[in-house]
Amino acid sequence: ILLTAPLRGVVVLLLAGFTWLLASALFGGDGSLSVRNIFTAEPHPRRYKCGLSAPCPPKHLAFRLVSGAANVIGPKICLEDKMLVSSVKNNVGRGLNIALVNGVTGELLETKTFDMWAGDMSNLLKFLRPLHEGTLVFVASFDDAATKLNDESRRLFEELGSTAVKELAFRDSWVFVGAKGIENKSPFEQRMKNSKSSNKYEGWPESLEMDGCIPLRPPLES
């Protein structure tokens, strides 16, 4: 079908107008989405093990510890992107939540909770005394982690590298990673004191969160 000259002119004008509107919408204009934005948009941040902001070096274990919030939200212990302790796994409890890990292989050995308000202190001592050289010890508090602690239990944690356990008190928040046979104090420890003037929750301080990379130990010489 042949278009008359006037009609062709109208079509050309309509196409030109449509092209201008489309270009305006794509390349500029208030609140408009642009082609440039589509191709230059920031990529989503890459996720690393246990939610770390950067990957761990080779032969290191990625971890994240979160202490409990008041007596409501349970603690979490993540290692190499695997949740070792959490409310979802139904293996948390009031007091000390502990995971033992082989410091050479990174293999989980055991998880256990110890009630530091009304529990039997001897259970914790029996748990800590026979640890093998190189065993990694991950600790996250929930509610009250200190009332039942005695001199021997505090000394055992100090031997694992803790500096805060000596002053740990009623309802303090505490996260800690230590090791049997450590020569120096552990760099992985945080404590938040229970204080009425600074508590985030009524009767409890805020939850603590700590992450990092722990080097694997070389196999012990036989």
Structure confidence by residue, pLDDT tens digits, 162-197? 999 999 999 999 999 999 999 999 999 999 988 877
Give the model's pLDDT for residue 171.
92
Residues pairing with 210 in the sheet: 65
Confidence (pLDDT) at 35 = 44
- Length of the chain measured in residues: 222
What confidence tens digit (pLDDT) does each residue in 42-88 have? 566 678 999 999 999 999 999 999 999 877 889 999 999 999 999 99
Cα–Cα distance, 25 to 176 (Å, whole number) = 54
Does pTM surpass 0.85? Answer: no
Q: Which position has the higher pLDDT, 130 or 23?
A: 130
The number of angstroms, rounded, from the C-alpha of 151 to the middle of its chain's C-alpha atoms is 30
Q: How far is CA 156 from CA 1, 87, 115, 208, in A?
A: 95, 27, 17, 22
Q: Name 192's bridge partners.
A: 173
Residue 28's CB is within 10 A of a number of other CB atoms, namely 10
Domain map (residue ranges) of the chain: 62-215
In angstroms, the Cα distances linking 138 to 27, 79, 81, 163 are 53, 10, 15, 15
- Say whether 44 sits in a helix, a strand or coil: coil
